[in-house]
Amino acid sequence: MIPPERQATGWGIFSTLEGLGIAAGPIIGGAISAWLHPGGAIFLSSLILAGMGCFYLYYPFEKLTIKPGVDVNVNKLS
């Protein structure tokens, strides 16, 4: 979980990356389509998405964010 004092920074970074993707995506996709063929761009996108899926399947998000030795039991009452 992101601490409340860092949430605004997280949303700012997320929005910036989303905007860059919206701006650069068509340019990069057009270049790949011209280089490989439109089907090649779709194939390359599917490979990237499959790789991301495998990453998150085999390396859960909790391992990226939870430090060893920290109690993360969300079911206990405070």
Q: How many CA atoms lie within 13 A of 59 on its CB side?
A: 7
Specify the 3-state DSSP secondary structure of 43.
Answer: helix
Q: Look at residue 33 and tell me if it is in a domain.
A: yes
The reported pLDDT for the residue numbered 75 is 56
DSSP string, 20-37: HHHHHHHHHHHHHHHHH-
Within a domain: 53: yes
**Domain range enclosing 45:** 29-64
Total-model pTM: 0.51
Residue at 48 is within a domain: yes
Low-confidence ranges of the chain (pLDDT < 50): none
In a domain, 38, yes or no: yes
How many structural domains are present in the chain?
1
Residue with tokens 């270049």: 31
Residue 35 lies in a domain: yes
For residue 44, give the nearest of 54, 53, 33, 34 by alpha carbon. Answer: 33
